[in-house]
A and B are shown apart, each in its own frame.
Chain A
Amino acid sequence: MELYTSLADNESANKKIKLQLIELNEDILKSMKNNEKLYLKSNSTKSYPVIVTDNKTYKIRKQNHSNCSMLMNMDRIHRIMDHGDKDIIMTSHERFDNQLILSVIDPVLNTSKVPVLENIEQLLTISKNNLTLSEIFTDSSCSTQQFKKLVVDQMLVDLNNNDDESMTGCYLLSENVVIDILRLILEWFAKNVDQSQISVAKDGSLESPFLQSFKIGDCVKGVIELQAEKLDHDEMAAPEEMVKSVVKKFTTFDVEIEDDNMLQKVKLKNPDVIRLFGISLLKKSFGSVPIDDFLINLKSRLPFGYNPDIKLDYLKGNYIVENVGVKQQIRYLDESDLSLDVIKRFKELFGMKREWKVEEIEPFVNRFNTKNTKCEKFLIKYAKVKKVGKKVIVTSR
């Protein structure tokens, strides 16, 4: 078969049509076979484009090579030749010195243009925005499914469909606003759960009555009514969309039916509730406080009638326990405040405390364990790991 190459393939940079080779992994191929749409997007705060399937995000990188890689196209010409009159030839119309490669990345929601509401009343004073969820999605490096999850996780609320036409745009809820709304939700749950109904979990343990489920619509309606009862005349009520968002973040579906179905049954995610209240309390504490005092304070901050199990473990990655005299004290430590350099991070951690338990240090170094190896094995690379009795202790080298 004779091979030809077109002489005008490098014609001009402003060609209307360009071809580019791109590596297709199994996930992308599967999406293509299922006729799902793939989106090429770019987050305005990031320097790279992404390709997203329905539920995954891939960073696109250009990989240059020095080979002459030609995309040949089959053609069939009719010409008078010794051996016959038909001839199949292949012609190259495009040559490549690079190809696009994909690597899976964590989704990123671009909220750089979204205002943060520090309190509900700010809705009256903050300058209006016309942002829509669809615009934010287009400008975020994430897939549709990841976007839905991030919207709930990061407390992004869309007020564009609110009955009150003066409310438009999208807002991020601050921790204080979330806590205020969550208090009302917990109060509503406390009023409505049957405290005597304690069920037995699969593992044989007793389940908190706060794991009873309710229709999400009843919960949102109930919270709005409760809010109306409690507010003074000059106070502004949280719009229904905000209540719904907070309910969604702190509850879990029994069985997920479909988006925004108000008949769906939900139950409280008690560990997440404790985590929010606990972290907020730790942030407000000056320095370290005795663990017992902290737990009492935390319990007292929860609404009356809401008595879930409280475990320090729920606050993982946000605290450090220190031995002060004979007492153990706790203080706030945010993983994201530590160095992004793994060596420096270990130095910082051992500067705060000489000996760590594996489970204590794990949340602060986990982001570097990209191969998901067993934590102890990963720690050996950067620290000394030794057994003292039944405990495994991590110290600096």
Chain B
Amino acid sequence: MPRLDPTLEDYTTIISTNLGSTILEIQGELNLPQSKPENLTPEEEELFIKSRVPKLLNTTDEVVRDAVRFGRLELEPGFKKATLFISNSQRLVGSVEKVDPPLGVLRIVKDDNNGLEECQVVDVISHKVVFRLRPLPIM
């Protein structure tokens, strides 16, 4: 799947920082495979993509990893309500909340030569999408 870099226009259509970061919070844990399983059916194969590791987490030009789809997010206009559909049977209802105080994304890079770590606050997140309720069935 060829990919394009997101444009600024894209960022304004969803909740994200100018660098395209968002925090999504779910109660409990997401159970996901550690790696992409082999011998998948064509339907299962559709759940996986090759995802480019963002520059935040990458020092080299292009690193690609397997990623699995775990849901679909729908935000109501005005971002008052958020719905997260997980598979075809469950949905979570949540909201966009203000993060107060805002959270900084601290990037810590280890220098292999001297063992020192360099820290940089690379992004500031002031809102997050939170799902606090139990999953509801999709009727």
Contact = CB atoms under 8 A, between A and B. Distances in A.
Interface of A: 1-10, 16-26, 28-29, 32, 38, 40, 66-79, 86, 88-94, 99-100
Contact of A20 (B22, B101, B106): B106
A240 B21 CA distance: 55
Q: Is the interface of B mostly helix, strand, loop or mixed?
A: strand
Nearest to A14: B110
A75 B24 contact: no
Interface of B: 1-7, 10-11, 13-14, 16, 20-30, 32-36, 49, 51-54, 56-59, 65-75, 84, 101-110, 112, 119, 121, 124-125
Contact of B107 (A8, A17, A24): A17
Contacts of A94: 57
A74 B20 contact: yes
Q: Which 10 A-B pairs have the closest CB atoms?
A: A74-B20, A4-B67, A78-B2, A72-B22, A20-B106, A79-B1, A24-B104, A18-B108, A8-B65, A73-B54
A86 B9 CA distance: 13
B65 A7 contact: yes
Contacts of B32: 5, 7
A88 B22 CA distance: 13
Contacts of B59: 16-17
B109 A17 contact: yes
A73 B20 contact: yes
B57 A93 contact: yes
A15 to B, nearest CB: 8
A26 B5 CA distance: 33
Contacts of A71: 21-23, 105
A349 B124 CA distance: 49
Given A7-B33, A76-B5, A67 B103 contact: no
A88 B66 contact: no
B1 A74 contact: no
Contact of A3 (B36, B52, B72): B72
Given A67-B26, A93-B54, A5 B68 contact: yes
Contacts of A9: 65
A2 B74 CA distance: 9
B24 A92 contact: yes
B121 A38 contact: yes
A88 B70 contact: no
Nearest to A51: B119
Nearest to B53: A93
Counting chain A CB atoms within 10 Å of each CB, which of B30, B57, B119, B124 scores highest? B57
Q: Which of A6, A10, A69 has the most CB of B within 10 A?
A: A6
Contacts of B5: 76
Contacts of B22: 71-74, 90
A263 B59 CA distance: 51
